[in-house]
Amino acid sequence: MFVAFMQEAAAVAATAAPAAPAAAEAAAGISGQAGLALIGAGLGAGLAVIGAGMGIGRIGGQAVEGMARQPEAAGKIQTAALILAALIEGAALFGVVVAFQIQGKF
């Protein structure tokens, strides 16, 4: 039953799909290559932000763990963690700016 439903849904989508992108591109005035560039810009910005979030989260977790193991070195660990977090944020901001520059060209 489920397989028949999926086959029917695929057949309906295949008949309706060719008209939808062409109409959307004509309305927006976007060519195929420009659309791919915009998708790439969006993916680039998203991946830059996700990577920065993961990196800063890992730095924060490891810094807290290091401070718990050696409380006397907490000041140095905190300073190093803040500097590393700032460097990661700078790299992420650079990635997002480049992605928006790509987006602005189309």
Tens-digit pLDDT profile for residues 12-48: 555 554 555 555 555 556 677 888 888 989 999 999 9
Closest listed residue to residue 106, CA positions, set 21, 38, 42, 28: 38
Per DSSP, the residues of 51-65 read HHHHHHHHHHHHHHH
For residue 54, tell me if it sits in a domain.
Answer: yes
Domain of residue 62, CATH code: 1.20.20.10
Work out how many domains the chain is built from and give that number: 1
Alpha-carbon Rg of the chain, whole angstroms?
23
For residue 10, tell me if it sits in a domain.
Answer: no
For residue 100, tell me if it sits in a domain.
Answer: yes
For residue 86, tell me if it sits in a domain.
Answer: yes
Alpha helix locations (H) across the chain? 2-16, 19-28, 32-69, 74-104
For residue 9, tell me if it sits in a domain.
Answer: no
- In single-letter form, the type of residue at position 49 comes to V
pLDDT in tens, 45-81: 999 999 999 999 999 999 999 999 999 999 999 999 9
Domain hosting 90: range is 49-106
Closest listed residue to residue 80, CA positions, set 59, 97, 95: 59
